[in-house]
Amino acid sequence: MKVLVQTRMKINFKKIVFVVILILLAITLFLRISSSKKTPQINPKQLIIGMPGDYQIGYAHTVSLLKKSGSESKATIVAINGSITEPPHLDVYEDIGSSSYTKIYSFIPDIPNMKGFLYWIDKVTPIMDGGDPFSNLSGIFLSISQTGADYWGSYPVLIRYDKNKGFWLADFDSGNLSAESQIKSYMGPADKTLEIANQLDENNKAKSILAEGADFNYSNIELSFYTEKDYNSFGHTLVTLKFPYNY
């Protein structure tokens, strides 16, 4: 009887060791998969060079970027807040190894009648291929807020990315936004289509419109407007219109 009990104990101990090994292997595999999906974030203060001392970083995030050669690289998107005298801007830095980074794109918005208004980039959304947050960058959505004495709102801006073409401002809607029936019925007197350009490349322009709010939710660009026709004692009704993003 004593021998039998010892044998069983040995068998149980081997089973326990085997189960523990399986658990450790599973944990190791999970951590490897997780680490491969998560993109390490770079400290944006390492990237900002030649900026005035009072600059403020409003957004910074590192994503995967597919290059022309077919290889992948890491790129950090950095948005700098604006002021009454200085427009906001967005920079993209590529990790070139050995703790070195190079700026591969800059966008400084050139908006008609900017003088006298405060502008800042209040929302930045990296758009990844197919809406998969662990894939490669295909675009960047910006919401640029405008604040003035008479009215305020947000301009939607879409920056596309292609491994062969690079970055460029792009229209997110093929038509005249302010003439579209779904927008026209909700527009206020200040709402009209305009062109936003990059101060660093005046030939690159894209249509935009002043809305009450602008956002990106996979896979739609969403614009919010107050309705004039539904005004009542409680105020205006806020309506959100969606524009599909084509990957």
Residue 59 forms beta bridges with which residues? 79
Same domain, 7 and 98: no
Same domain, 3 and 100: no
Task: State yes or no: pLDDT of 64 exceeds 80.
Answer: yes
pLDDT value at position 96? 87
Strands 152-162 and 118-128: unpaired
Same domain, 146 and 72: yes
46-50, 191-195, 202-206, 214-218: segment of lowest average pLDDT: 46-50
Rg of the chain (C-alpha set)? 25
Same domain, 93 and 213: yes
Same domain, 59 and 105: yes
Q: Please give the share of the chain, as a percent, with pLDDT higher than 70.
A: 67
Average pLDDT on 195-212 reads 92
Same domain, 124 and 238: yes
pLDDT value at position 47? 65
Average pLDDT on 100-126 reads 91
Task: State yes or no: pLDDT of 26 exceeds 80.
Answer: no
Mean pLDDT of the chain: 79
Q: Would you call 29 helix, strand, or coil by DSSP? A: helix
pTM of the model: 0.77
pLDDT value at position 152? 82
Res. 235 pLDDT band, cuts 50 70 90: low
Split into its structural domains, the chain has a count of 2
Res. 51 pLDDT band, cuts 50 70 90: low
Same domain, 166 and 214: yes
The domain containing residue 6 runs over which residues? 1-38
Average pLDDT on 161-171 reads 96
Strands 220-226 and 238-244: antiparallel
- Length, in residues, of the chain: 247
Distances (CA, A) of 234 to 76, 126, 231, 237: 44, 36, 8, 9
Same domain, 62 and 183: yes
Q: Are 95 and 77 in contact (CB under 8 A)?
A: no
14-28, 160-174, 208-222: segment of lowest average pLDDT: 14-28
Same domain, 211 and 191: yes
Same domain, 211 and 111: yes
Same domain, 144 and 230: yes
Same domain, 11 and 105: no
Q: Please give the share of the chain, as a percent, with pLDDT higher than 90.
A: 41
Res. 8 pLDDT band, cuts 50 70 90: very low
